[in-house]
Amino acid sequence: MKNIETLIEDGGSISLGALDEIECVAAASDSHNSLAMLVRREGETLTALLKRLDKAVGRHYADGDVVDEVNNPSD
């Protein structure tokens, strides 16, 4: 999970847990912005969720894209 490692080394953070009525969200942010917010899928393991988060962080680093499944569930 090299992208998450890089994020944390650069002072960013990740979090996992419930958010309002959503049972489990994985989020990544740097010191200024949210980079990704993913909703755990039915039957998805935490390892798989973290791998998706790592890919989403990598996508942000490559293209500046923000993946937001919490506020934009169709993305």
Q: CB-side exposure of 41: number of CA atoms within 13 Å?
A: 10
User: 52-71: per-residue pLDDT in tens?
Assistant: 999 999 999 999 999 999 99
Distance (Å) of CA 20 to CA 1, 6, 27: 27, 29, 14
Q: Kindly tell me if the per-residue pLDDT of 6 is higher than 60.
A: yes
Mean pLDDT of the chain, nearest integer: 95
Is the pLDDT at 9 greater than 60? The verdict is yes
The whole-number pLDDT of residue 72 equals: 76
- Grade residue 73 by pLDDT with cuts at 50, 70 and 90: low
pLDDT exceeds cutoff 70 at 45 = yes
Overall pTM > 0.85: yes
Written as six digits, the tokens of 28 are: 């990544």
